[in-house]
Structure 1
Amino acid sequence: MKDQVAKYLGKLLSDRSASAGEIAFAAQDDVLITEGNPHLARLAGDSLSRLNCLGLVAARPSLPFSDFLVRRAPMSESRIVPNDTETRTFLHDIPFLRRSELSAEPSRQVTQLLGNRKGIIIEGIGIVASGAVTIEQAYINYSSVFHSTFVKYLQDVLDRGFIFSDEEAAFTEFRRSWLHTLTAEGLSFAEAPLIGGEAILAEVERVGRYTVERGLVDSFFGNISVRDGDVIYISQTAASLDELAGCIDPVPMDNSSTTGITASSELLAHRRIYDETGTAVILHGHPKFAVVMSMRCAEKGCRIKDCWKDCPKVRFLGDTPVVAGEIGAGGLAKRVPPVIGTPGKAIVYGHGVFTTGRDFGEAFRAMVQVENWCREEYFRLLGE
């Protein structure tokens, strides 16, 4: 269990979602185990002892966006409701505790809020997330809250500007220090065509790791595949893209076997993209600025309420089409294949980016280009 704690503490640091020295895990083994920052470890351990789950992480995010969202919320509200796909599908909403609301025994309040949610925000302390049966789930839920609050805060700043005196300086520091230049330079990709199962598996594993390392996907979301004749090699559902060894399924294009039962929930979308475009590879990630920009629409007087699934229009961010659609076997499999063929890239409202190519070098560079364009457009609209 301690090895698992060390592993996911390292992941929080490598993906830069938590502050060094301000991370703690609690895990229920034969005995309660706590590791990390003493104050946060005590909160995590006390909270976990009251919950019916195996693991819990409490950490201060590397960015102050979650605290700013709490401060910007009306005093009558006690939850944040981002409208990205991850929140809607997995988190539903993110409850929070204001600094002024904390009792002398905050673990009781944490327990109450985590009883029916996967992650919460405590102003001035950080994000607390639980894992029902694994430490990994606690890490995943923390990552999802970090991603959703990142997206939500950037949306709010674009819509309402800076409200508090310390926001602009923090945002400038975020842009100067946290954001890295996004590039495919320094990465090695196998040349097309990819031939043979072993070569394909090795390349999928490597590119999946690149996608995580360059910040194009958070926690375990995203998927990747290669078509080899009548077989699609695709990452499994809930697989971490940086740990794909043993988590790639060979699935017949005609669905003639049950090997697809553990495959990514976007298998149908991948299959239809291959059918309609003839591409060799598909990469799907959740780069944050593309998610933010996909949810901005200039349409006035539109009566559609559930834009993420019901909008019938194809919009464009630069030369990249943007479509709505439900994940899984829903709208994505219908909406993405018709628009992705010529540009080799498409954005799904509030969800992420699909790219295609003759090889993964082409697909990866296309995703980098989409995210960089969205980043530049975001700051242009912000007036910076």
Structure 2
Amino acid sequence: MSLPGGDARAELVRCYRWLRQHGLNDSHSGNASVRDGDCAWVTPTGCCGDTLQPEQLLRCPLDAAPPAGASLDAPLHLAVYAASPAARAVLHSHGPHSIAMTLGGGDFRPQDFEGRYYFPEVPVLDIPHEAYVARSPAAVAAALASHRVCIVRGHGVYAAAETLDLAYKWTCSLESSARIAWLARVARLGG
């Protein structure tokens, strides 16, 4: 995915809007970042996926604390970039099927062909709500250092990749696999 002039901020906003438009985030959930040289552009806290503009993104140096107003997950994004030097994009979404499939315990193992091809196993992290801010950066960064995606149980999906396009692909593919697993579960219960 590349826009004229290679504007990383415009690409990030476009991808963040797609997450909202395709039901992977509600109007104000999730967050996203893209690495751009010695910094990352990060969505602001509480931003709206429908109206976010490139100039609203916050510049976060890779080796410093995020500025005021950056997403609550900005330290997590920076930790992922530190743990995975090849990563150029991190997306956090709230796909309903992906989250639902984590509520029963254990890691998520897709049942469909594409899901098994991309994600033989998706780590599901147990991070207590009250410890999320303190523990999520290290836990998610460690999981994404060896997996394309991970899920914080009951909370949401994190994807890291070399491009925004790939991070978006992993996010969408995981939600598709989770939807298929959910439908298969419902079919077994109803049949």
**TM-score of the superposed pair, with normalisation by structure 1:** 0.43
**Post-superposition offset of 1:242:** 2.8
* Aligned equivalents of 2:81, 2:95: Cα separation in 1: 23
The CA distance in 2 between the partners of 1:242 and 1:321, in whole Å, is 30
Q: Give the Cα separation in 1 of the matches to 2:68 and 2:5.
A: 24
Q: 2 CA distance for matches of 1:360 and 1:190? A: 9
Q: Which residue of 2 aligns with 1:320?
A: 122
**Partner Cα distance (1:207, 1:242) in 2:** 11
CA distance in 2, matches of 1:296, 1:247: 38
Residue 353 in 1 paired to residue 160 in 2?
no
C-alpha displacement of 1:293: 0.8
1:280 paired residue among 68, 88, 111 = 88
Determine which of 59, 65, 68 is the counterpart of 1:261: 68
Q: CA deviation at 1:195?
A: 7.8
Q: Does residue 225 of structure 1 match 2:37?
A: no
What's 1:251 paired with? 60
In the alignment, what sits opposite 2:118? none
1:121-140 pair list within 5 angstroms: none
Residues 321 and 340 of structure 1 are in contact (CA less than 8 Å); yes or no, is this contact kept in structure 2?
Answer: no
Deviations 1:47-75 (A, max 9, x none): xxxxxxxxxxxxxxxxxxxxxxxxxxxxx
Superposition pairs for residues 83-98 of structure 1, below 5 Å?
none
- Give the equivalent residue in structure 1 for 2:77: 270
Q: Deviation per CA, 1:303-361, whole angstroms, max 9, x where unpaired?
A: xxxxxxxxxxxx23332111022475222112111111232111111011011111111
Q: 1:195 to 1:348 in 2, by over 3 A?
A: farther
Residue 206 of structure 1 and its aligned partner are, at CA, apart by 0.8
Aligned partner letter, 1:294: T
Structure 2 SS opposite 1:251: strand
> Could you give the per-residue CA deviations for residues 230-288 of structure 1, whole angstroms, max 9, x where no partner exists?
211000000012322132000111226xx621100001111111010120001111000
The structure with the largest alpha-carbon Rg is 1
CA distance in 2 between counterparts of 1:328 and 1:342 reads 21
- 1:339 aligns with 143
Percent identity of paired positions between Structure 1 and Structure 2: 25
Partner of 1:190: 2
Contact 1:195 1:228 in 2 (8 A): no
8 Å CA contact retained: 1:345, 1:366: yes
Paired residue type of 1:282: V
What are the residue-to-residue correspondences of 1:159-238 with 2, within 5 Å? Answer: 189-190=1-2, 199-238=7-46
Aligned to 2:117: none
Higher relative contact order (CA 8 A, sep 6+): 2
TM-score (ref. length: structure 2): 0.83
Is this contact kept in 1: 2:9–2:34, CA < 8 A? no
Distance 1:346 1:266 in 2: 15
Unmatched runs of 5 consecutive residues or more in structure 1: 1-188, 299-314
Post-superposition, which runs of at least 4 consecutive aligned residues in structure 1 deviate over 6 A?
none
Question: What displacement does 1:208 show?
Answer: 1.1
The one-letter code of the counterpart of 2:61 is P
Paired residue total: 174
Alpha-carbon distance change, 349 to 234 in structure 1, aligned in 2, over 3 angstroms? same
Q: In the alignment, is the contact (CA less than 8 A) between 2:27 and 2:50 conserved in 1?
A: no
Equivalent-residue separation in structure 2 for 1:381 and 1:346 (angstroms): 21
1:368 aligns to what? 172
Contact 1:237 1:265 in 2 (8 A): yes
- Change over 3 Å in CA distance of 1:254–1:366 after alignment to 2: same
Equivalent AA in structure 1 for residue 108 of structure 2: F
